[in-house]
Amino acid sequence: MGTQGCGLAEAAAIAEFLAAESARQCGPCRFGLRASAEALTSIVDLRARSAEVGRLAGMLGEVSGRGACHHPDGAVRMIRSAMATFASDVHSHVAGSGCRHGGDDQFFPTPVGD
């Protein structure tokens, strides 16, 4: 990623991938991961405000520990870690200015589509 990429954008791409890769056998995977990934993407895309950050935190709390397997738990930990690690970027994105990283280069390539 270097200094050009956005850590939140990377985390959102990974969250989208994890949501798409779930077995879709239980509610936390089927609905919770998708909603969490979409909420994180809305922050990255400058469509979210501070209420969305709180809503995402609430969703993560509802998903954590409730899946039939530990796939949603890992996804929740990754999103929470990204939100904490890139907290200043979260603030900038929510304020509508984006983060200090302007590049579109993706460091962690994820397959496109389901």
Cα–Cα distance for residue pair 63/3, rounded to 1 Å = 32
For residue 41, being part of any structural domain is answered with: yes
For residue 104, being part of any structural domain is answered with: no
Give the length of the chain: 114
What is the residue-wise DSSP string for 46-63?
Answer: T---HHHHHHHHHHHHHH
For residue 42, being part of any structural domain is answered with: yes
Buried b (16+ CB within 10 A) or exposed e, 29-60: bbebbbbbbebbbbbbeeebeeebbeebeebb
Q: In the predicted model, is pLDDT for residue 103 greater than 70?
A: no
For residue 70, being part of any structural domain is answered with: yes
pLDDT digits (tens, 9 = 90+) for 42-87: 999 888 888 889 999 999 999 988 888 889 999 999 999 999 999 9
Above pLDDT 90, what percent of the chain? 45
- Top pLDDT among 2 and 51 is at 51
**Do 18 and 33 contact (CB within 8 A), yes or no?**
yes
For residue 83, being part of any structural domain is answered with: yes
Domain enclosing residue 48, as ranges: 24-94
For residue 81, being part of any structural domain is answered with: yes
For residue 87, being part of any structural domain is answered with: yes
Instruction: Say what the pTM is.
Output: 0.82
**Do 11 and 82 contact (CB within 8 A), yes or no?**
yes
For residue 51, being part of any structural domain is answered with: yes
Count: domains in the chain: 1
